[in-house]
Structure 1
Amino acid sequence: MRSALIVGTGAIGTSIALALRARGVVTHLRDTDASAARTAQDVGAGTTAAPNGTVDVAVLAVPPAAVATTLVALQQEGAARCYTDVAGVKALPEREIEALGCDPTSVVGGHPLVGNGRPGPLAARADLFEGYPWALVPTEATANRALNIALTLVSLCGATPVFLDAEGHDLAMARVSHAPHLISTLLASRLRDTEASALRLAGKELLDVTRGAGASPALWADLLSANAAAVADVLEAFAEDTLGAAAVLRAPGTPDAAPLLDLLRKGTQGQVALPGKYGVPPADLATVQVVMGDDLKQYARFFGDMAAGGVAVADIVIDRSAHQGTARMSLTVSAANKPVLVSRLRRLNWHVQGGQ
């Protein structure tokens, strides 16, 4: 791949441009917001100058409802040999592309499964997609040449391609992303009238469950509307489970422990089914917790000690208690490396919670 046109210079589009630029691809930037395109150019994502001829791939980093109309315009100008998008739903754009009479042979639906939670080109990173899945949704009409170009794009961005059809993609997203986000938002909305003294008791579990509610309402309204039926199906099933749990808890007398245990065990089974980070099975991961002062110098010394130790860390979560001036660092490592890491940290006088 030698050249690309990125249409839409938000965080995702600009990150794709940065990743391609880092691998020698000439990238051209286009956006209805000229200032966003200039900002993306200023951070090194490419040039706002128009391509001199047809590029290898045009990436449509636009909202789902704008994919088809954007594609029509690009195909009419002969902008690229292959067209792909990054929309979080696939069935709606696919239907609209067909209805508008676009050439389907050069189109491959796409969706990188990552987001940094911040909008705009200044939030972009060249390594944003590394190690993450990237859904590719070709149709029966997609030509092999277009599919190969899309695969090259995903590879250059450091992601792993996952092939799905449009309906399968949207059902999967309803289950693993869209409905969970809406449930998170609904739960967070119940906190609006909660007394401040009660909210001070909130722990990491509530923060984790409601974190998604802080994302852009406008962006999520577009996604949920475009995948409404599949999300509604998941919510209705979840509502049945919720009402069933409420019925168990409201049973006369002391709630029967057996139904409660059954509900909780089903949740455990579902959680265990989730794949681990970076392809590591969850059973092979362990957590090490370190308590330290909530201070940048402490953080710097800690991460310096970690880097010198040579133990790979799959995930790091910092749980701060600002009013106490402390922080709990939760490190996810392979189970085999946990004893090594615990021993090293204790030798360096770090306060490790729990045993090996």
Structure 2
Amino acid sequence: MGALVNMEALILRNNNLSGQLTSSLKNCSDKLAMVDLGENNFDGPIPSWIGDGLHQLIILSLRFNNFSGSLPSTLCYLEKLQVLDLSLNIISGGIPSCIKNFTSMAQNTISSTSGHSYKCGVVINGFIGISYHLDISLMWKGVDQHFKNADMLLKSIDLSSNHLTGDIPPEMEYLIGLISLNLSRNNLTGEITSNIGYLKLLDVLDLSRNHLSGTIPSSLAQIDRLSVLNLSNNQLYGKIPTGTQLQSFPASSFEGNSNLCGEPLDTKCPGEEPTKSQVSTTNGGDESSIFLEALYMSMGIGFFTGFVGLVGSILLLPSWRETYSKFLNTLILKVLKWWKQ
């Protein structure tokens, strides 16, 4: 395979391939723009020669394998990289701070390769040299989706479901072209970088199920393109920054942080005062309640007074008793007469 020096895309995903990657692939360094080996059984460490030799890589997907060890710092040499998917492996160690060298991700423009078709080596089917656009399957917003011309549309990092430790490097803030960042289901610690708001193009941010602590940076509320946010099941605390963006997400985006408070959670922050509208509503409700209580009480007293006055007059005054008796007799005679007819 290393003799295929003109190959530009290598797609072997969704097979039962195993073992370690052959180092002969580094001979394809001049043109290889896409390597997709996802959903196989490859194991061993991620080879350092990927970063050392394959400098034309735009898409690297090794998802859903058994790669182990730490992330090689040589990956940072892939300046043209736009999609990095290493999810669902058993990679450990920290995220290298040199990720700021992903130059293409640090730009908010699409790739200059727009519209280019590549020569593809689909080795398992025996076809070499066919025309191919960089298509890839990615976990997107919780659903496995297929993207055509991914080099034109996406800038994404997915390191989810590994064993990564340490802090999220603050150098992540330089990748202002990122559209999706998924670091969920790891063992990351420390705080969310305070300048996360620099990533204004983010559509998806998932940092859930780690051990992140500290407060949620106020700059996060400045990312107005976010459609998916998940910070659940960490150790975050304090008040959720106020802004129309963060309060629009469901409470499930923040649950599992026992010391987090503020909307959209039901947990109120200590010393938090009700808003003016809540105060006015409460006052209005109290005034209305008092008015109704007084009304019902006066009606009851009036009815009781009138009833007692009428009955008392009939029982105590002879003239009233006679008049009442005549009225009853007349009424009874009329009823009997009507009944006979």
Scaled by the length of structure 1, the TM-score of the pair is 0.24
Q: Which has the higher contact order (CA 8 A, sep 6+)?
A: 1
Pick the structure with more strand per residue: 2
Scaled by the length of structure 2, the TM-score of the pair is 0.25
